[in-house]
Chain A
Amino acid sequence: MKIMVAFIALFMLLWSSTGVYAETLEDRLKTLEEALRRQEQTIAEQQKMIEELKAEIKQAKPPATPEAAAVGRPAASEQMQQEVRELNEKVDRVVEAQRKTLPSEFNPSIGLVGETIFSYTGRGSSQTGSDRPGGFDAFQRSVELNAAASVDPFAKAYVVANASADAATGESTFNIEEAAIQTTSLPWNLTVKAGRFFAEFGRLSYIHDHELPFVNRPLVLDQYVGGESRTDGVQVNWLLPVEHYISLTLGLGNQFGGDVPPNNVGDYRRLGGWNYWGRLSSYFDLTPDISLEPGISGLWNPRTNGRGGPLLQPDGSTLTERERRLVGADVALSYKPLRNNQFQSITWGTEVLYSNNHYDAADSSGNVLPSSTVGSLGLYSYLTYKFHRQWSTGFLFGFVEDAQNNKAKAYEYSPYVTWALSHWNQLRLQYTYTDYNSASAAYGLHSNNAVYLQWAWIIGSHAHGWQQR
């Protein structure tokens, strides 16, 4: 009985699979027939076209006397043959060019940037305020994936995803550093950008780390802006319709600064909880080789609602930020000789920032103290001299007063030399001496020396953007 059942089951299985095969075979035959029919149709059309062309050529032949034809024939024929050869070559090249199939032709342009920092720092992280260890260190600061493309005739979009290593565990954390859409065809010289992006504020805040002229972001930008000017929001840029270059940018966003959390997370936020910023910049050609690019910027967050939590002071008291105000002025003076700008240039860039934040204060027991407004000043100034297509050198000076305690001051001095092997491969050696005053020492910060070797590379697509000019 069992054998019988197994036999029937096997028969049914074979029968059903044969059926499927037959069905598939039939489909294939149909497809083949269809392809053959289309091919025949194409051949017929082409045959017809050839006949028509032949007829046209016959009609186009000029009536010539036998003598003239006999005399002119060899030269004309030779010339004709030459022209046909040239034409064939051209057609071959076009066909060759068209034959290229790009599997990625509908993908956005993609580039990957890597940046490794080898360093030696004279003191441990507790005395430098850095999240990196003192002594010898190797740090894959970032691996940045950039993708950009047009969305449609009215907008373009880009994404910058960044994986950076955790200082403690070494694990890389992947996050979206920028993801924004930008209009391309608004009237009245307007451009709107929305999403997550580096807001146009100051001179270097919106530049990615690996594109800075030196290894580390100046102290004042780290302190007052929060590193890069990252925000989630919207920004409008207007190129003024005058003959002189004047650009005005206004924006509003959720948070402002790479390391700064948004305020009022999970709570009710009024419009005052947003960050508002603006920038006005211009440009002057002093001579064909020398240019001046000034700008002013401002940032205002009327209601920060204790952004970042209570900030512990050396005496045990706390400050809680209630309002954030930041203004800045920047200027770049450049000498770029037109003839040699790939081989020689001098750029002097300076930015001065004034922070005027409002804080609620409490003593070490939590008793409320009178609130205060702390005005503090910071600046950086650098000079970069390019003396070869691949080589440049420079010096960065930085100064900053602590945004909560303007008595605590820090100075930085950094000579650096850059070797750009090509557009996509660059090494930079930098020495930095950071000098903290006694008021800073109360926060545990001590003067220290550091040497950095930065190696940055790019693979894939890269563009020379307007901001990196």
Chain B
Amino acid sequence: MKAKLFYLLPIIVLTGIICMGTMPAYAAKIRVVATFTDLADFAREIGGDLVEVHSLATGVEDSHGVPMKPSFVPMMNRADLLVLVGLDCEHAFLPALIEASKNPRIEVNRAGYVDCSLGITPVDVPKTTEHYAGDVHPYGNPHYMLDPVLAKTAIANIYNALVEFAPQHKAEFTRNRDAYLAKLNAKITEWERETKPLKGLKFVSYHEHWPYFAARFGMDFFGTIELRPGIDPTPRHIEELIAAMKAAHVPIVVREPQFPEKVPKRIAEQTGATMVTFPVMPGGVPHTETYIKMMDYIVHTMVAAAQARK
């Protein structure tokens, strides 16, 4: 009998440990995993103390090339909500991570899969997805978060998901959201006022991050340094771009920090344009830890660069 107990006891203990580990932990906080730092910022603002938010990206990564770290897997395995930009922005790393995380709550079309692009009318929807057009996004340009008005759609989607997950906290979520929206709306008015003198300003960037931003503030997104999305520029493309920029007097070259500086700098030098470095998500450059700080940084830098040329 003793011998049986000797064997039985460790088995029971081990089973107990495993079961405890696999049981959904009814933690006090709602666990949110966001793909990018801007979405994580919104989730924190709306969720307040009720949420525990992690971001896969730190802000400095290429939004299409966040490394698939296995350390993300346990985090996603426990997540209640997965918040993403959508429009295939995360196609290079997210599907495999979702599969590896083995969490049915956050799979596509489940309640925990929060696609923030719902309600967004995308621009640049390609007529074909043939690879000669580069690494195109079949549903359109996914960088709508750089338009603060469209970013409010992401806020609405995150709010809805939180309310659906924890309806008992609706009042608090609503209070937090409204407070944040008030702050953001005031900032949008400020940014629109500041960028008024920039109407029609032409600029090029490394990647097609900026059509939504340009449309919102009335600027002219002239083209990209990349030959096609995800494809590095060829010497001929650079030559043609320089000629076109000179002819159209394009004064600004935007370089996103995850791309090398050398080519944008050379283009700026040869065209007489000013090169500015803009983050595409909070944390991309120092002092841009939140969405509002990031947009402040972008708007102020753009205005300063345009004014310095006058």
**A97→B131 contact, CB < 8 A:** no
Question: Is B67's CB within 8 Å of the partner chain A?
Answer: yes
Question: Is B178's CB within 8 Å of the partner chain A?
Answer: no
Chain B: how many interface residues by the 8 Å CB criterion? Answer: 39
A188 to B104, CA, bound (A): 11
Question: Is B51's CB within 8 Å of the partner chain A?
Answer: no
Q: Answer whether A288 and B125 are a contact pair too, CB < 8 Å, given A464-B68, A464-B92.
A: no
A229 to B74, CA, bound (A): 27
Which residues of A lie under 8 Å from residue B100 when comparing CB positions?
239, 466
Which residues of A lie under 8 Å from residue B74 when comparing CB positions?
239, 242-245
26 intermolecular pairs with C-beta atoms under 8 Å apart:
A93-B121, A186-B102, A187-B22, A239-B101, A240-B21, A241-B18, A241-B21, A241-B22, A244-B74, A245-B70, A283-B70, A283-B71, A336-B67, A338-B60, A339-B60, A339-B258, A342-B62, A389-B232, A422-B231, A463-B95, A464-B95, A464-B96, A465-B96, A466-B68, A466-B100, A469-B96
**B121→A90 contact, CB < 8 A:** yes
Question: Is B257's CB within 8 Å of the partner chain A?
Answer: yes
Question: Is A105's CB within 8 Å of the partner chain B?
Answer: no
Question: Is A58's CB within 8 Å of the partner chain B?
Answer: no
Question: Is A264's CB within 8 Å of the partner chain B?
Answer: no
Known: A184-B107, A283-B69, A285-B69. 7 other contacts (CB 8 A): A97-B125, A185-B104, A188-B22, A239-B100, A283-B71, A343-B259, A466-B100
A202 to B211, CA, bound (A): 46
**B135→A423 contact, CB < 8 A:** yes
Question: Is A293's CB within 8 Å of the partner chain B?
Answer: yes
Name the prevailing secondary structure of the B interface residues: loop
**B73→A239 contact, CB < 8 A:** yes
Q: How far is the CB of B79 from chain A (nearest CB, A)?
A: 13
Which residues of B lie under 8 Å from residue A187 when comparing CB positions?
22
Question: Is B269's CB within 8 Å of the partner chain A?
Answer: no
B29-73 contacts to A, CB under 8 A, are 58, 60-62, 65, 67-71, 73
**B260→A424 contact, CB < 8 A:** no
Q: Which of A185, A283, A338, A423 contacts B58 (CB 8 A)?
A: A338
**A239→B77 contact, CB < 8 A:** yes
Which residues of A lie under 8 Å from residue B61 when comparing CB positions?
338-339, 341
**A342→B69 contact, CB < 8 A:** no
Question: Is A41's CB within 8 Å of the partner chain B?
Answer: no
Q: How far is the CB of B78 from chain A (nearest CB, A)?
A: 8
Chain A interface residue bracket vs B: 35 or more
Q: Which residue of B lies closest to A89 (CB)?
A: B121
A189 to B105, CA, bound (A): 12
Question: Is A437's CB within 8 Å of the partner chain B?
Answer: no
A285 to B99, CA, bound (A): 21
Question: Is B93's CB within 8 Å of the partner chain A?
Answer: yes
Question: Is B197's CB within 8 Å of the partner chain A?
Answer: no
Q: How far is the CB of A128 from chain B (nearest CB, A)?
A: 37
A218 to B11, CA, bound (A): 42
**A469→B71 contact, CB < 8 A:** no
Which residues of B lie under 8 Å from residue A341 when comparing CB positions?
61-62, 65, 67
> Lowest 7 CB-CB distances: which A-B pairs, in order?
A241-B21, A283-B70, A469-B68, A339-B60, A245-B70, A466-B96, A342-B65
Which residues of A lie under 8 Å from residue B131 when comparing CB positions?
422, 424, 459
Give per-residue flags for A441-467: 1 if the beta carbon is below 8 A from chain B beta carbons, else 0: 000000000000000000100011110
Give per-residue flags for B240-259: 1 if the beta carbon is below 8 A from chain A beta carbons, else 0: 00000000000000000111
Q: Which residue of B lies closest to A243 (CB)?
A: B74
Which residues of A lie under 8 Å from residue B18 when comparing CB positions?
241
**B230→A285 contact, CB < 8 A:** no
A390 to B65, CA, bound (A): 14
A459 to B107, CA, bound (A): 27
Q: Answer whether A293 and B92 are a contact pair too, CB < 8 Å, given A338-B61, A339-B257, A342-B62.
A: no
Question: Is A140's CB within 8 Å of the partner chain B?
Answer: no
Q: How far is the CB of B234 from chain A (nearest CB, A)?
A: 10
